[in-house]
Chain A
Amino acid sequence: MKKYTLKRVLTSFFTLLVILLVLFVLMQLMPGSPFNDEKLNDDQRAALYVKYGLDQPVVVQFVNYAKNMLKGDLGVSYNISKNTPISQMIQTRLPISIGIGGLAVTIGAIVGLLLGLLAALKHNTIWDSLATIISVIGVSVPSYVFALGLSYSLGFRLQWFPMLYKANNAGMSSVLPSIALSMFTMASIARFTRSEMLEVLGSDYMLLAESKGISGSALIFRHALRNALIPIITVLAPLIVDLMTGSLVVEKIFAIPGVGSLLVNAIQSNDYNVVIALSFIYSAMYIVIMLVVDILYGVIDPRIRLAKKGD
């Protein structure tokens, strides 16, 4: 297991380096430059290129960037927030996206699991149909539709929750965006839980467990659900990263100062450093979560853990 983990960590590190290189090349290929403004003439643009070291060969830029990055310096923004260190921008924004995304994942996973369980245990009843309808809606309707609906009904009409994100009321103002974001997760989890549970419930070992006299909640939670969790976690992992890195549209609707809106603004204005830094952080988060999931598999399913030991 240790050797396996070490190998995975090393691979992750190299993957990240490759990603950084690819990002750099992609930035070079992007049309336009950060300094394309009507008000700038050629001399001024040249001066800006020199100021930010963009006049140097790509290789030199890459080496410099990688060096600075190891020191924790992600460079400065060229235009969305001129000359502000990107680390400072991310520090204030990432926690907000992670907070709202985390809340969304938690709501989605818990409600989804319960819904899926209900559907599987009450298979072919009205409950099953209801749960299925809810999850079909959740999967097929985009989150911004929920966002607008929630904002109009609970925010504008009933005024229970703020329509816009307020830093001094972060808790209440996170509720609507989190619910809007959680719908897709909830629906996916409900569907997977239902089908996995149905499969597990019909399997031979469940019959064995039942015939051994195990019953009620122990049977469902210890034996059935635990086996059904593996594929669910596989689905959940990428959803977690998606949600934590901020949803562009939902952030835009609720005016949330998160990283999703930052990335899109940065791409639109060719703010290279911000794009590279954020994409890199996304990749890193993705890789780390996948790593955690791999390790979690072993914890949940003894068969995987034992197989690894045999390596």
Chain B
Amino acid sequence: MKKSKAVISLLTASAMTVGLMSTGTVAFAAVEESTSDLNVMLETPVQSLDPQQATDGTSFEVIADYTDGLMQMDSDGQAVPAIAESYDLSDDGLTYTFHLRDAQWSNGDPVTASDFVFGWQRAVDPDVASEYAYMLSDIGQVENAAEIIAGEKDKSELGVTAVDDKTLEVKLNVPVSYFLSLMYFPTFYPVNEAFFETCADTYGTSPDTTLSNGAFVLDTYEPAATEIHLTKNADYYDADNISLPGLNYQVIQDSQQALMSYQTGDLDLTLVNGEQVDQVEDDPEFMTIGAGYLWYVSPNIAAVPELANLNIRMAMTMAIDRESITTDVLKDGSLPTYTAVPMQFAAGPDGSDFSEDQSKFSDVCAYDTEKAADYWAKGLEELGETEIELDMIVDADDAPQKVAQVLKEQWETALPGLTVNLTVEPKKQRVEDLQNGNYEVALTRWGPDYADPMTYLGMWITDNSNNYGLWSSEEYDSIIAECTTGDLCTDAEGRWARMYDAEKLVMDDAVIFPLYTQANAEMLSSAVTGVDFHPCALNRVYKNAVKSE
């Protein structure tokens, strides 16, 4: 049976057109008031409520519930004004001037430009050692960010200044087409310095040590809590448009318990795992949502002589039946993927998905066991071998292990003489082995940090720590440089076309074997509308959610 679930396609436009920006909010009539709190299941606990320290999707989601940045995501993932009421961009594309609206923190302090300066300086401060510091340097290209992170300059030299309380000026090294879409990423959120100082080291560890300037206020939270509660912020500048009286998060690590809680009505939104899909797929409340993650196989080109052979790599990528992995194994709506940049997260200057056409590399990435066998035979001949044994490392989680098992079967069936041994490792160790090049083949994944193909393409430049197989191409490096800091920065169409060229190099050389774009299977109560799902930055946003019963 063909499962054709309506995957909610969430295309995120990255390049914002200045002309479209509105100045000031339009006053809508107040929305319908929801009858009760929205109850949401979380799979993992929050790791940090400090916007400059948090790195995981769960933490980002909760932080964004009670904090607004300069911009926010609308339901299509476009950057629309939040604390910034409007902005100006200089002609050379290097200076953004944000004009802040009248907004206040939950302790009554006004939200000022210096709150942003303080937050951003924390993000690059080597003493804070924020893991997402590169969002300001490599990705955001904020002036002096890289030098400050490297300890060469003082954090006060960061290219962000409070011109006055309501005006924030940001200077960039080069024009960055997707800069506004970074402004809703929590690393760029403001922090009230005076309040931060009173919390000392406990900032963000309890409701008393967090401040809200967003739609909700945190009122129940303990470190690594299983229950988190937020109440609507009556002082929020857009409070009239917030319908939910509150948000109730429950961490549930057992998927069966989660589904039963959903069925008894204790939850309005819950994740469903692949094995449960069969039980619920006919339920109208069941849906699958693109999660943006690309799962792929990384062959260690530099360290394993057999994998340095292009024919062997081509054989391996051609022998994978991606369709079977998503429909028979995962069943959660994940999409088979034949491109190095996954689908559904980056839209180009013309609004189209960068990876919508999944057949563009069909001559080098498709399911074709005959071709695979030919490549394999040729490769073996070149190597002068008849048998190849490879170790593949895989995360200890359930789904990746199942996928790896199927990959092993598919490879061993299609490619005579190949033996694949699976090594299961905890994620932390898997990452260490990959980054040290201590592996042969690995099943791994990458999630988009911002809505631009560069979040993936940036990985395969020479010496990038996530270019695990140590592939290196001068041509590729120069294209990426052109698109990030070179001439193409200001030419959206040209840049887009060049990124296709770069992706083609990766695919032609079988640098990675893309497998699938992850989707999450979820149940959402029919009484709830307006929850916005996004594949990057903030996975779920509840500002527009309405619950009626």
Contacts and interface: CB of A to CB of B under 8 A. Distances in A.
Contacts of A256: 226
Contacts of B129: 44, 47-48, 51
Interface residues of B, number: 53
Interface stretch (A125-133, A152-160, A303-311): A152-160
Contacts of A159: 264
Interface string A22-51: 000000000111101111111110011001
B178 interface: no
A270 B428 contact: yes
B426 A89 contact: no
A36 B55 CA distance: 12
B261 A51 contact: no
B150 A43 contact: yes
A214 B419 CA distance: 77
Interface residues of A, number: 51
Given A38-B466, A159-B264, A44 B431 contact: no
B264 A156 contact: yes
Contact of B48 (A83, A156, A253, A269): A83
B227 interface: yes
A68 B425 CA distance: 33
A31 B429 contact: yes
Greatest chain B CB density within 10 A among A44, A48, A76, A164 is at A164
Contacts of B226: 165, 255-257
A255 B257 contact: yes
Interface string B149-177: 11000000000000000000000000000
Contact of A79 (B47, B251, B425, B444): B47
Interface in A268-290: 268-270
Contact of B431 (A37, A51, A80, A152): A37
Contact of B264 (A40, A41, A163, A261): A163
Nearest to A267: B426
A81 interface: yes
Instruction: List 5 tightest A-B contacts by C-beta distance, closest first.
Output: A32-B428, A82-B48, A32-B429, A81-B223, A84-B223
28 contacts: A37-B131, A38-B446, A44-B131, A44-B134, A47-B126, A48-B131, A77-B223, A82-B54, A83-B205, A85-B201, A89-B222, A89-B224, A148-B256, A151-B257, A152-B260, A156-B260, A156-B263, A163-B260, A165-B226, A252-B253, A255-B226, A255-B251, A257-B226, A257-B227, A262-B224, A265-B224, A268-B427, A269-B428
Interface of B: 45-48, 50, 53-55, 126-127, 129, 131-134, 149-150, 201-202, 205, 220, 222-227, 250-254, 256-257, 260-261, 263-264, 266, 396, 425-429, 431-432, 435, 444, 446, 449, 465-466
